[in-house]
Structure 1
Amino acid sequence: MPVEVSWARLGDAHDGLRSLLDPVERARLDATPDPATRGRFLVGCALSRLLLGELLGMPPADVPLRRVCPRCGGPHGKPRLDAPAGSAAYDFSVTHSGALIGVAVCAGAEVGLDVEDADAALDVDSAARIALSARESAILRSLPPADRKPAFLRIWTRKEAVLKALGVGLHMPLHALEMSPPEAPPTVLAWPDHPAAVRRELHLADMVVDGVHPAVVAVAVPRTGSGAGVGPTGVRVTEHDRSGAVSSYGRLG
């Protein structure tokens, strides 16, 4: 299953990218008070539209996207592509953490991408109580203190990528979604009793961005057997650095 993953940076944000956004995206951008959050959203929208525009052969500003929450109908759900009739069906996933913004694109399957800033402050014990199963927490406690944060981030990025691929956000019980140990190939060991989970298999691949930041891509496909998940061999990831394309788009001069 081929997946294209492209990365950009918070520093790529500039006002010229606003021309790529649709009215819903511009309203959300203008309603976001924090400059860093606003910049990450702007770059994520621009990068998504540039990539999908290339694939669909259309201007990036014309790429038809939907941002509708399936629960409340608000404009904050996972963005979806309203693919024109006769074109390939692409799914995509946006992630951002710290200065990193990434977009994964996959044809014919649902995809989820997550990255975490390895340098961000984190209370590992508190986060583990919220996000990890009993077995995952025991593995974490068995590690030397210096190894616990990177181990937690590896497990967490796997879970977050799975949730994004399934399109359920954080509404799935995190303790019941159990991943393989951080040093092992990424695999789902236990599924929650959730309809989105029982219908799909997950293909996962670990990545490291800029040599330190953990990232994971997950691809969800209809379940064909009784296994809880599959390893990384089902995903072929190609990574690109698109900071130059984003930062130069729409600039004058």
Structure 2
Amino acid sequence: MQSLEPATSPDRPAAAAADTGAPGAGAPGALAAGGRTWRIEWAQLSVARLVADRRPPAAEQVLAGLIARTAGVPVGDVELERRCGECGARHGVPAVEYPTTPSGARWRGDAAASSGLVVAAVGMRHRLGVAVQAPGPEGAAVDEAAFHPGERARLDAVDPAERRPLRAMMWARKAALSRALGHRTFLEPARIELGEPDAGGAVRLVRGVPEFGASWRDVIVIDLPGDGDGVAAAVALLP
């Protein structure tokens, strides 16, 4: 089993590594409309982010563009199948039917959108899930259902002005984990405690839970840039 240990230096957050800038005129699909892509090398992950004030492209369009860019194929050739393997409904992380990786395996990819922010991620080796989360309702009952007591203590400890964006970020991390796990595994948010980002930009489980088995220490969530107005984004990687 491959380790997901970050290899970036402490003074360079992993989520900002290898920024390739704007895609330019030759960028495929929706990415040509002002999106940015970058590479997180230690996670072997390509990420795309697009912010649109009006009529943003669908999440799957951005995902298809990122796959095309990463794999070097026309965007029109990308085939995504969004059909749950458990119930057959159109939800959850899409399967990349085409293209395949150089070894003939499937690419792993996901995308999410909210409030004009669209984020997509693509990799070769690990199951992943992407989440974009706008600030939601607040209150003790909501927090008790969503966050572990250790996480609630961290929320209570921050300045009130920082609490709302931190809450959205913490929820985006758990939503990304839930998408990565898929429909077959129910994730009770308040039972999961995630720590703070480490020097390499990785967020890890504080302790093991049955949903992640013996490999829980290799589960990683990476905070991604939001929209600057409170909408948070994250990608989860499973071993």
Q: TM-score range by the shorter chain?
A: 0.5 to 0.7
Matched, 1:203 2:203: no
Aligned match of 1:128: 143
Q: Secondary structure at the match of 2:234?
A: strand
| Change over 3 Å in CA distance of 1:156–1:121 after alignment to 2 | closer
Structure 2 distance, partners of 1:56, 1:147, is: 39
Gaps spanning 5+ residues in structure 1: where? 14-39, 222-253
Q: Which amino acid aligns with 1:193?
A: P
| Change over 3 Å in CA distance of 1:171–1:147 after alignment to 2 | same
Matched, 1:153 2:195: no
1:140-162: CA deviation from partner (whole Å, max 9, x where unpaired): 23444333222222221222222
Q: CA deviation at 1:93?
A: 1.4
Structure 2 distance, partners of 1:148, 1:183, is: 20
Matched, 1:90 2:107: yes
Q: CA deviation at 1:193?
A: 1.7
Structure 1 or 2, whichever has the larger Rg, is 1
Structure 1 distance, partners of 2:53, 2:163, is: 30
2:191 aligned residue (172, 176, 179) = 176
Structure 1 vs Structure 2 CA RMSD: 2.9
Matched, 1:69 2:84: yes
1:1-253 to 2 correspondences below 5 Å: 1-11=43-53, 13=55, 42-84=57-99, 86-87=103-104, 89-117=106-134, 120=135, 122-168=137-183, 171-181=186-196, 186-194=203-211, 196-199=212-215, 201-212=218-229, 213-221=231-239
Structure 2 distance, partners of 1:146, 1:50, is: 36
Structure 2 distance, partners of 1:59, 1:189, is: 42
Is this contact kept in 2: 1:157–1:215, CA < 8 A? yes
Is this contact kept in 2: 1:12–1:43, CA < 8 A? no
Q: Secondary structure at the match of 1:209?
A: coil
Structure 1 distance, partners of 2:161, 2:105, is: 46
Aligned match of 2:33: none
Q: Which amino acid aligns with 2:154?
A: I
Deviates more, 1:100-109 or 1:138-147: 138-147
Aligned length: 191
Is this contact kept in 2: 1:90–1:109, CA < 8 A? no
Gaps spanning 5+ residues in structure 2: where? 1-42
Is this contact kept in 1: 2:51–2:227, CA < 8 A? no
* Structure (1 or 2) with the greater helix fraction: 1
Q: Secondary structure at the match of 1:162?
A: helix
Q: Which structure has more RCO (C-alpha within 8 Å, separation ≥ 6)? A: 1
Structure 2 distance, partners of 1:141, 1:183, is: 21
| Change over 3 Å in CA distance of 1:45–1:102 after alignment to 2 | same
Q: CA deviation at 1:121?
A: 5.3
Q: CA deviation at 1:6?
A: 0.6
| Change over 3 Å in CA distance of 1:94–1:218 after alignment to 2 | same
| Change over 3 Å in CA distance of 1:181–1:7 after alignment to 2 | closer
Structure 1 distance, partners of 2:184, 2:143, is: 18
Structure 1 distance, partners of 2:191, 2:114, is: 25
Q: Which amino acid aligns with 2:86?
A: R
Structure 2 distance, partners of 1:77, 1:116, is: 16
Instruction: Give the TM-score taking structure 1 as reference length.
Output: 0.63
